[in-house]
Structures are given as C-alpha cells and as structure tokens.
Structure 1
Amino acid sequence: MNTTPTTTQDTTGGPATGWWTEAVIYQIYPRSFADSDGDGFGDLPGITARLGHLAELGVDAVWLSPFYPSPQADAGYDVADYRDVDPLFGRLEDADKLIAEARAKGLKVIVDLVPNHTSSAHRWFTAALAAGPGSPERARYVFRDGLGPDGAQPPNDWQSVFGGPAWTRVTDPDGRPGQWYLHLFDTAQPDLNWDHPEVRAEFLDILRFWLDRGVDGFRVDVAHGLIKQADLADWQEPQEILSGAEVAKPRPPMWDQDGVHEIYREWRRLLDSYGGDRILVAEAWVEPAERLVRYVRPDEMHQAFNFEYLLAAWTAPAQYAVITRSLEATDAVGAPTTWVLSNHDVVRHASRLGLPTTLTGGRPNGIGAGDPQPDAPTGLRRARAATLLMLALPGSAYLYQGEELGLPEHTTMPDEARQDPTWARSGHTVPGRDGCRVPIPWEADAPSYGFGPTDASWLPQPPSWAEYALDRQRGVPGSTYELYRTALRLRREHGLGRGTLRWLSSGDEVLTFANDGVTVLTNFGSAPVPAPAGELLASSAPLDPDGRVPTDVTVWLRT
C-alpha cells in the first residue's frame, strides 16, 4: 500500500547559476585531517600535502573548519583573532599556500566564519570586562543586569546549547559581583550584540581580509542565531539549536529572528563586488523548509545546509517527503538545495543509520560505550545507499572527511578522553561530538594510521581504524572509497547536480526517480525488488541472482 503519491512529478534544483549550484564540497576538520609535524594535531601544511586525495576523489571544493587563533575551548569555534592562524595549525603563510595549491588542483576553498560569538580571550571581550557596566566596550556583547534585589539571578531562563545556563556573571574591576553576559554555547563563547554598528563593520572587514587572500566563500556558523528577540523574553521550552519544526509554534527568541536577513543582504553585496562567484553558506538549523529558504533568497546567501534531510528517518515515505518539500521550497526562491548527511557536529551516518532510531528519525548527541551500539554492517550498508541516493539529487552536496572511507563513529571512546564542552556542561551525561572528530586513517600499518609521523593523536583512534584506511581501499573494487569515486565521476558526467528530478514511484518500501538520463532506485523494504536493466552503479553489490535490488541498496540505471 502506498502512503505517498505515485504520480510523476517534476522538481528541479532551481534556476540559479554558478559553480556552487551543483558542487560537491568536502568538509575538512583541520585538527583531524593530517598532521605534518607529529604533535597529534592536524594542521594546514598537512592539509596541503593531502589535497591530491581530494582531487583524485573528485570533489569541487573544500570547506575548512576554524583554524584561527583560539584557546580551543570549543575546538576553535571560540575565535580570539579572525585575521590570523593559530600556531597549532601553522602560520598565515600556510593558509595562503593552501589556497594557492587548492586552486592549482581545481579546488575552491571555503573558510568557516563564526559571527555569533567570539572567544572570551578576544581583545574586545577582555576590554569589556575591564571597562565595566554601561561602557561602549560592553555594548559590543550582550551584557545585562541580573534579576532580584542583588542581581544574583540570571536576566532570563535561557539555557546553553551545551547544557546549563546561558548566562554567566562577571566580577567587576572593583571585585564585586557584576553583570551577566549571554553565551548560547560555552562560557568561553560570549555572544556578540549584532544590533551594534561596530560589530557589523568589524565583520565586513573580516570578510574583506579573507576575500583579498583569495578564498571562494564562507560557511557561516550558527547563521540563524545572530539577532535575538529585543526583550530577551523567557523561553521555557527545551533548548535546541533547531529553531522549531512547526509553523504554528512560536520561534524561540534566540533563533531565526527576521533581523538576520538584513545582515546577510549586506554581506552578499560585499561578496558580489568581488566577482568570481564567491559564496555564503548558512549553517542554519531552521525548520520548516519554508523558513530555511529565506536564507537563500537571491540577495542573501547562496546555500543553506539541509538539516531536515540529515535528520529524516530511513524510510521511503520520510525520504520522499523531505526531498520533495526541500526541492519545492528552494525552487520557490530560485536557489539550489544543499544536501548533507554528516558533519563535525553529528554522529557519522555510517553509525547513525545503524541505530534503531534510524527508522524514526532524529539523532543522538554522541554515542558512548554504555549506550546502545549501532549495528555496524547495517549502518555502513545504509550509509552507502543513502550517499548514492543523495549524490543523485539535483543541487549541491557536502561530504565530511572520512565518510568516503565508510568511517563509523568512535562509539567506545574512554570518557576521560572526551573534550567536547557538551560532555562537561551536561554533567557527563551527554557524550557530545568527539566520536565523529577522531583523526582519520590514511595508512593501515603506519603510526596513527598515517594521520601523522608519530603515534600522537589528540583523540584516540580505535583499533578498527586500520580496516578503513585509504591504502586498504584505493583500487579495491567494491570498497567505499571506490564507490564514492565512481559516484562522483558519474554524477559529473551525467550532470545530476544540475538535473531535474521526476518521481517514478514513491511507496512504503521503494523510491524511484529519474534525473535526466539516470534512474535511481532505493529499496527500503525487507525483501528484494525488481530493477530495470542498465545498471550503472549499485551501493552494494552484487544484486541477487535474479537481478533484484536487496534491502538498503540504491542503484543508478541508464534511463
């Protein structure tokens, strides 16, 4: 019985033009990609030395997570200086060399921008603490007097995304308890006041600094959080980075406020003045899709990550619904849809899809040794099928480092090794994101699996990493790495990123659509299903003896 329409439907990726509309972009988490000096932390020279891997893989661009000077309270998302490189990762000249080498290999470079908050070590915040209440220095941040006769209560009831209160009280220069400052994340990440013209001018100058150095765009961290509701009203719902999935529900006062769009229109004008198709990418945890696409209207950003797709259940009806809704929403504003399955903030999809919750959607915030463990073979099989489904969709797609190797989450990491602030702020109840950030394996028999020249690794690598190493997969038919390489080549050859999606069937167990000259079929059911002739690629092979598609398999076929 079908629960979704089976009529043919045409849906495109929108009329926008530019390299980003169909690009496959590879996220690099610098501290975990490649370590050139053996200190256990990845760095910019290490990335530069491995750019050949990305060119061979067949991606179009790289996105670099933060490499700026930082105390590393949140792995670099607490920025102390937006115009330099942390010595942990190299020097500014290393960034210039990386950009030049990437361009020589045909790769665009996108860098992370963190505008919602700075580090508490940023010169602005240290000046704010020294200057005291009512000062121009404090006006750059969100400082408020506390409640109660002695101001001992926080200004409102907001909670941090990482757990605990979103407010911290400071000690004034005279030694007495003072005002409170807002931090929607860690205490070391004070929120900026984006109603202040000096904050807006500063970030325009930061954009110019990196544009002048040749970057091709910016991924904007917490893009939906810059503007807060003016009255800072209490919010008694659970704190989530998502803005809320239901249109009828009020939006949280800290997320997805309409004022953010004025900021991005100004940024877009600046990028357009540079030419060369420089882009803005929104990390906006916004639902429903109709709210998300406001960020990619023609005069704002170019892309917005589709987190509703990432969170969707692994069922045919759920996948049909989110794909259709996403494409229709972005079509309405003339933008491409930007698909994603994994990144540095979520459980890797090779593990997430092996959990029982796969069939209901959602995601855990990390997996610990004492938690229910994913079914590894099922997770990898579904991950390969999900990736092949995603790469056949019109629009752009993002890959997270190591997913081309089929890397799972490190789900048995010792608690004492955890560094994500979520772990500490939740009272050691939420594992957090360390499991998806473990340094990736390049060579099975090398120290740190080839991550660096020594055994040092800032997070422990599990013993199973050897089987996923690149040198165990390159040139091996059927390996996850070779599946990605082939899929990216065929996606490019058939123009799937700029194609048109036409649903052929959408039932309880099977999805089938055509994208120009390719038919794509995914079997979500428990029994094999017939497949048309003309197989181009299958996520798992071989098909059964009768040529049928087994469960949790995606196939591409010539139309």
Structure 2
Amino acid sequence: MNPRTGGPVPATVQQDLTNPSADWWRQAAVYQIYPRSFADSNGDGIGDIPGITSRVPYLDRLGVDAVWLSPFYPSALADGGYDVDDYRDVDPRLGTLDDFDAMVAALHGAGIKVIVDIVPNHTSDRHVWFQEALASAPGSAARERYIFREGRGQNGELPPNEWTSIFGGGAWERVTEADGTPGQWYFHLFAKEQPDLNWDNPEVHEDFLTTLRFWSDRGVDGFRVDVAHSLKKDMDAAHDDLETIHRADLFASGEHPLWDRDEVHSIYAEWRKVFNEYNPPRTAVAEAWVHADRRAKYASPEGLGQAFNFDLLQADFDAGQFREIITKNLAEAAATGASSTWVFSNHDVVRHATRYGLPKGSGRGGAGADGKEWLLDGGDPAEVDAALGLRRAEAATALMLALPGSAYLYQGEELGLQEVGRIPEKDRQDPTFFRNRGVDVGRDGCRVPIPWEAAPAEGASFGFGTDKAHLPQPAWFKDYAVSAEEADSGSTLAFYRRALALRHELEGAEHLEWAESSDDDVLHFVRPGSGQGAWHVVTNFGPAAAALPEGEVLLATAEVEGGKLPSDATAWVRVP
C-alpha cells in the first residue's frame, strides 16, 4: 500500500460530525471557500452559493469538518466583498437567502459545520448608514456611526492628519456635503469605499449583535472576525503627529491609537453572551495581526475563543523556526484554555506551494527581494521551483494536520495549486495593486477560480462554470484540475483525503511530546492515537535522508526506502 494515499479509511477513523458537541471546533479541519472563485452555477463567471451546494459531495469526500465562507454579502467588490452593503443578506449575484439556507442544510447533512466571515471594522460606502451620513449634517447622529472630522487648512482642504491606509494612499477621504460644498473627512483604514465604523457608538454595538443572531438563527455554527484587533480606536488629535500608524514598536503595548487596544475585548465579551445563547454555543475565530504575546486575549473563553496564529505562515521552511512556533503556541493555548490554530494559505497570501519554491520566499510578498521581484514581475510557476515548493508544502501540511488544534485550509491547496502571477492589469481587481502600483502585486493571484475539469468545453473555465471566470485562469491549470487529480492515486488531492481521514484518529488530548533528534533539520514529535500505539510525526527539513522509528508508516509525503525519510518530507508512523 502506498502510505501517501493509502486504501479505504479504517472504520476506526470514521466520525459522526453531526454530534452537536460544544467542542467540535477545537481540533477541526476548516476549509476556506472564497465564494466568487469556488463554483459558478449559472455561467456568469462568478462563483455563487448554489455552486457551493453542488460541490458538497466533494467537500464531504475531502474530509473537512467545517467550511469558512469569505464574504458573500451584497457588495460593490471594491475589496473582494469585504466592503459590505448589507450584513444580513446575500449578494444577488451569488444567490438568495433561500439559497444560503439550502447550502447550510446540505453541508449540515454531510456533517460539515458552517463558519461565515463578519466584517465589523468598516461598512461599504454604499451601506444605508453611510448614505444616511452623507445626507446628514456634521455632528448628526448618522455621522456619529462613523469617524468624521474637520479638515486642516484655511478651508478644511487638508486631511486631519497624514496617516496612510493599509492599501496605500491617505486614510482620509473628503465628502461633498448635501448642499454641494466640500465638507468633512471620514477615516478609512482600508479602501476609501470602506469607511470605518465608530465602535464608541452604542448603535453600532446593537446592530452587530442583531447580525450575529440573524446568521446564528439560520444555522451558522461560527464566525471568522475580520480585522478583529482594530475596532476600538483613540482618534484624539494628540496622535495626529504620529509619523505612521503602522509603527511596529507600538503593537506590543496595547496603546496604539488604532490597533489592538485593550478596550476592544469588551466588544467580544458582548458577542460571547450572544454565542452562548445557542446550543451548542456559536464559535468564533479572530483575525488579529497582533504581537504574539497579546493574541491570547482574543482567544479567551470569555471572548472569541480562538485567534488565528499566522506564525507558521510567516516562517521559512526551517525546523528551528517551526519548533519554536509550535512550542510557544501550544503553551499559550494551554495557559488560556483556547485551541491553537494553524494555517499556511488563505485569500490574502501567496499560496504556500509557490512560496516554498521562491528563491527566498515565505510571506505574501516573499521574505526576500528575489521572491518579491518574482511576484511584481508577474511570476509564473515555470519560473520558480514548483516541484520543490509543492514537496515542501505537502510536508508542512502533513506536519500541521498532525498538530493539536484547528487546521485551516484554503480552497485549491488540496490540489497543490500554484499562485497565478501573470494576470493582465485590465483583469486585476485587488485595490492593493492599484493603490501601490509597482510595490504590491496584490492578492488576485490566490483568488483565481479553482479548476474542476482538465478538459473543459470551449469557452468554459475548467469546470468552474460554463463561461470565462471573473479572473483569468492560465492554461497550466489543467494539470491541477480535480478531475485530473482524482484519476491519480499519487496526487496532492489523494494525499489530502488520506491525511484528513486519518487525522480523526489523533483527536483527543491536545498536547504532544517532542522526541529529541541528533539532526537539527529533523522535527520529531509524538501524539497518542485512538488505536493501539502512539503516533510519531517526523518532518525532514534537511538535505539528507532521516531515519524513521520502527513501526507502521500510515502516511508519508515521499517514498520511504529502507526506513529513511527523504528530504523535504513528513511521515506519520504508528509505533506499538
């Protein structure tokens, strides 16, 4: 038997995921769906809710415990759907609330939980509240829901300060008042189409509690909280002379005017009360890019319960870095009662199968100049070591899936999909590309619709839909299509299915024991299995083959010969 893909899943690893355990999320494998790029049911080039429903059998066979949906709300798509017009509806291009209910029913019928994105830092500029604010006078109740200020200069023609947005350019936008005269300025951490909400306003609090109940009542099991660390802000003019709002030295203190302020946790205490109204309680995970020492506040049982750990995502493929990160995060989770989270790819970063093949790449822009220049030049998999990148990505993923805690996967990574670099400017959508031209290539490359069929009909989009996709798919996508990989027992898809099936045997005690190795390039840890014997997980980061413990090789990302694990590979070994 090939331990990479194995045969039928043993009965001992089958699991009833419909059990309403309150702890289902602690060690769940969560699959992120970017709805507009997953499956298009009506041929308009945009993925939709019925498209997701049609692929539930695929998700069921993949073996994930939950799906997380990126925003599907009505939106002008100024920022990929994170500019929300209405928090309690579905974008008509993606379907209806009835379609959403049908999708939830289908996923729940397959034993798959549903997590939805919630975007509380800002609305879109088309939201009814912001339109009301524009039509109202300065100082009105409508404007108090957002952050409006008078400008500087003789006639208020200058922004209140020189702060810049995350997407580049100024963080303030001047409005035209109802009488046609230039007026106040509003604050936007991200695109100008995303005005920041004022979380000092009780009306904002109450409206989001209503939204949490709206989706929970429809059967949603949890929430991913976008930019969870930015809601509370100190907009006192005393901070106006701050040279940049992105200064790293302010992030560890809790005193930054805009990021990670201690008072943000009072919001999540309110949310927790709502989550606990349901049985089982609704779950939540914070997207909080904060200093590692402050992450636990977001993951506390009195707050959201979990917070994304992006440490491995930002690390090089290096044994020392991986061990330090894993040790620290497991200790942090044990101290707070939270569950660790692990992630390598998502809708905001370069796919890790490509990152690990870049000359010096690790993070979204590449850790080194070579990786960054590859992206800015519109890199193509042929121009990186795609084979090395995929080999390391599978090794890293196998290690991650054996760790205690939740594993977050991004659509297409189970296919080994590479980043799409060569996207014509006319087809690009990400505001970071246009606001930082020549500096940031943007995030479109990981958001290209995934391929389902290797030989699509003429004009179709590799089975994504019946017509061209909203972001162009390169010809080499055929090699990564689901249909091609399902026919290959040695494919990345086969590996993911095998690993996710076996992973359920590890669910239990949320700890591991490090096994010492004489080779600094080898990580070896032990976890108890649900059957006989312990599981030894070995990852070889180095150039030379590494010896494996004697036992049954349950899974290996490369062929094991003579009891030796090749370079850039991971094996799971059951030892009696």
Partner of 2:465: 452
Q: Structure 1: how far apart are the matches of 2:44 and 2:402?
A: 40
Partner of 1:282: 286
User: 1:273 is paired with a residue of what secondary structure?
Assistant: coil
Deviation at 1:317, TM superposition (A): 0.8
Q: Structure 1: how far apart are the matches of 2:504 and 2:249?
A: 34
Greater CA deviation, 379-388 or 406-415?
406-415
Could you tell me which amino acid in structure 2 is paired with residue 532 of structure 1?
Answer: P
1:139-192 Cα distance to aligned partner (Å, 9 max, x none): 000001112332222212221111111111111122222111010000000000
1:40-94 Cα distance to aligned partner (Å, 9 max, x none): 0000000000011111010011111111111111111101111111111011110
Q: How many residues align?
A: 538
- CA gap of 1:235–1:555, structure 2 versus 1, over 3 A, is farther
Partner of 1:25: 30
1:84-132 Cα distance to aligned partner (Å, 9 max, x none): 1111101111001111111111111111111100000001001101102
Does 2:269 match 1:257?
A: no
Greater CA deviation, 16-25 or 277-286?
16-25
Does 2:75 match 1:70?
A: yes
User: 1:558 is paired with a residue of what secondary structure?
Assistant: strand
Tell me which of the two structures has the higher relative contact order, counting C-alpha pairs closer than 8 angstroms and 6 or more residues apart.
1
Partner of 1:431: 441
Q: How does 1:331-410 map to 2 (within 5 A)?
A: 331-358=334-361, 363=366, 367-370=375-378, 373-410=383-420
Could you tell me which amino acid in structure 2 is paired with residue 504 of structure 1?
Answer: A
Could you tell me which amino acid in structure 2 is paired with residue 552 of structure 1?
Answer: D
User: 1:81 is paired with a residue of what secondary structure?
Assistant: coil
Partner of 1:7: none
Partner of 2:148: 143
Greater CA deviation, 143-152 or 258-267?
143-152
* TM-score, structure 2 as length reference: 0.89
Deviation at 1:371, TM superposition (A): 5.4
Does 2:309 match 1:306?
A: yes
Q: Structure 2: how far apart are the matches of 1:101 and 1:128?
A: 40
Q: Structure 2: how far apart are the matches of 1:518 and 1:316?
A: 19
1:460-491 Cα distance to aligned partner (Å, 9 max, x none): 00111111111111152221001111111111
User: 1:153 is paired with a residue of what secondary structure?
Assistant: coil
- CA gap of 1:23–1:112, structure 2 versus 1, over 3 A, is same
User: 2:169 is paired with a residue of what secondary structure?
Assistant: coil
Partner of 2:495: 483
Could you tell me which amino acid in structure 2 is paired with residue 461 of structure 1?
Answer: Q
Partner of 2:8: none
Greater CA deviation, 208-217 or 148-157?
148-157
- CA gap of 1:156–1:250, structure 2 versus 1, over 3 A, is farther
1:490-525 Cα distance to aligned partner (Å, 9 max, x none): 110232x64421111266311111111211111111
Q: How does 1:54-65 map to 2 (within 5 A)?
A: 54-65=59-70
* TM-score, structure 1 as length reference: 0.92
Q: Structure 2: how far apart are the matches of 1:499 and 1:533?
A: 24
Deviation at 1:303, TM superposition (A): 1.6
Q: How does 1:104-503 map to 2 (within 5 A)?
A: 104-231=109-236, 233-234=239-240, 236=242, 244=248, 252-288=256-292, 290-358=293-361, 363=366, 367-370=375-378, 373-446=383-456, 447-454=460-467, 456-495=468-507, 498-503=509-514
Contact 2:251–2:260 (8 Å) recurs in 1: no
Does 2:563 match 1:547?
A: yes
Deviation at 1:252, TM superposition (A): 3.6
Deviation at 1:359, TM superposition (A): 7.0
Q: Structure 1: how far apart are the matches of 2:223 and 2:241?
A: 31
Alignment gaps of 5+ in structure 2: 1-20, 529-533
Q: Structure 1: how far apart are the matches of 2:161 and 2:203?
A: 26
Contact 1:235–1:252 (8 Å) recurs in 2: no
User: 2:375 is paired with a residue of what secondary structure?
Assistant: coil
Deviation at 1:234, TM superposition (A): 3.8
Could you tell me which amino acid in structure 1 is paired with residue 264 of structure 2?
Answer: V
Could you tell me which amino acid in structure 2 is paired with residue 276 of structure 1?
Answer: P
Q: CA RMSD in A?
A: 2.1
Contact 2:75–2:83 (8 Å) recurs in 1: yes
Q: How does 1:499-518 map to 2 (within 5 A)?
A: 499-505=510-516, 508-516=520-528, 517-518=534-535
Q: How does 1:73-84 map to 2 (within 5 A)?
A: 73-84=78-89
Could you tell me which amino acid in structure 2 is paired with residue 293 of structure 1?
Answer: A
Contact 1:502–1:515 (8 Å) recurs in 2: yes
